[in-house]
Amino acid sequence: MDPIANPYAPGAGQRPPELAGRDEQLEAFDIVLARTLRGRPERSIMLTGLRGVGKTVLLNALRSAAVKAGFGTGKFEARPGQDMRRPLGAALHLAIRELGHPDADQVLGTLKAFVEAGAGPKAKPSERWSPGINAPAVRGRADSGDIEIDLVELLSDVGGLASDLQRGVALFIDEMQDLGPDDVSALCAAAHEISQSGLPLIVVGAGLPHLPAVLSASKSYSERLFRYMRIDRLAREAADLALTAPAADEGARFTDEALDEMYRATGGYPYFIQAYGKVVWDVAPSSPIQLGDVQVAVPEAEAELGVGFFGSRYERATPAEREYLRAMAEVSEQTGDETVSSAAVAEQVGRKAQSLSPARDALMKKGLVWSGERGKIAFTVPHFGRYLRSVE
């Protein structure tokens, strides 16, 4: 079939042609936005899930909904070891600009002071970065150098500006589990203060499944502070729609047998649906797309995923970490469970669990595995175990 007309989009964070299976989250967020603008109490939102389930896509869709509702919005992606002030400052600067108020110099000055406070008094001029803010820094506000104090003051001022304008502000944070402990604590404290004050500012975060544990370890009240939305694989009906709707727009369709095989191969994970869908479209000679077309495409799609989606992550692991990953894959196949015990992994490699702790901890920091409960471990990437068993 015509590759130029191929409707599928397996890019990182790229919105698919049909955002299937997320109506519940979108509708719930519309209510949050409307209540926030009316001054009704609402919790900030945290999206959690494995890689490849479409958290970033949904985060962007929620941001679009906030823009349509008249909110000023900003977004940044957290990175391990990176101080939060600069990217957060840039995101809030954009949000304030979107509010479009000509007399926002006071808040912009506070924002500039907040960003500059992260550089320290001995910073060189080149290190005193600001996200294009022309207003003079306001001293004595959000510039103490204590990220928790400063962020509470900054978001209070931004929320106050939005309230005066009868508008709202929404801050979106991707890969939120990669924030440092101090930054996580500051965000929780600031969100708590904003919630108590009733200001129209919300935080929407996205991260791996252990994000709730990261937040809870920082502030015990985070369990009540945020509304957690678990983003998972698509149900069969939604997975079929993600394939058939874009195909129908191009005058093509799938047979029932082809859809059965696509769901078996992809497991309903949105990224895999797009990746397999793209290859199937290219190899199918004509519509309707048949079971045989899918069977021909699956090995090619898996080979592409093996180089990019899976292989790039595997290459980041050291030899000791790879041994741990392979043992996890073997135990998972033996038990038929995606979550395995650390003790079983240790038994698989013939070593004591304590001696494997460094490899396990390193893999968690790299975002390759996560632990939902003590003594249990799982891959953050769907089908990673199947990939590991295929290359060894």
Q: Which long-range contacts (CB under 8 A, 24 or more apart) does 294-301 make?
A: 294/258, 294/261, 294/262, 294/265, 295/261, 298/261, 298/265, 301/265, 301/275, 301/276
User: Which amino acid type is present at position 37?
Assistant: L
- List 228's β-bridge partners, or say none: 46
> Which sequence spans correspond to the domains of the chain?
23-230, 234-314, 316-391
- Edge to edge, the sheet with strand 369-370 lists 340-341, 376-379, 369-370
pLDDT tens figures, 362-391: 999 898 999 988 889 999 999 999 999 987
> What is the number of other CB atoms lying within 10 angstroms of the CB of residue 214?
18
Q: Taking Cα atoms as reference points, which of 306, 387, 372, 388 lies closest to residue 49?
A: 372
Regions of the chain short of the pLDDT cut 70: 119-131, 392
| 234-314: CATH number | 1.10.8
Residue 131 has a pLDDT of 59
Cα(240)–Cα(162) distance, integer angstroms? 42
Topology of domain 23-230 in CATH is Rossmann fold (3.40.50)
What's the mean pLDDT when you consider all of the chain?
92
CATH code given to domain 316-391: 1.10.10.10
Strand partners, 155: none
Q: Quote the pLDDT of residue 130.
A: 56
The reply to whether 234-314 shares the fold of 23-230 is no
Output the pLDDT for position 90: 94
Task: Give the per-residue pLDDT at 104.
Answer: 86
Name residue, tokens 């070891």.
Answer: 81
Write out pLDDT tens, residues 92-136.
999 999 998 777 888 999 999 999 887 655 445 555 565 578 788
Q: What's 367's DSSP letter?
A: T
DSSP assignments along 267-325, one per residue: TT-HHHHHHHHHHHHHH--SSSBPHHHHHHHHHHHHHHHIIIIIHHHHHTS-HHHHHHH
How far is the C-alpha of 271 from the C-alpha of 265, rounded, in Å? 12
Helices (H), the chain: 23-37, 55-68, 85-99, 105-117, 147-164, 181-197, 211-218, 222-225, 236-249, 256-266, 270-283, 291-305, 311-315, 319-335, 342-349, 357-365, 384-391
Q: What is the dihedral of CA 183, 188, 193, 196, to 10 degrees?
A: 170
pLDDT of residue 171: 98
- Residue appearing with tokens 């991260």: 207
Whether cis (ω within 30° of 0) applies to the bond prior to 288 is yes
d(CA 79, CA 77): 6
Dist CA 141 CA 135 (whole Å): 14
- For residues 165 and 63, the answer to whether their CB atoms sit within 8 Å is no
Token output for 29:
């967020």
C-alpha–C-alpha distance, residues 112 and 164, integer Å: 21
Residue 43: predicted pLDDT: 92
The reported pTM is 0.91
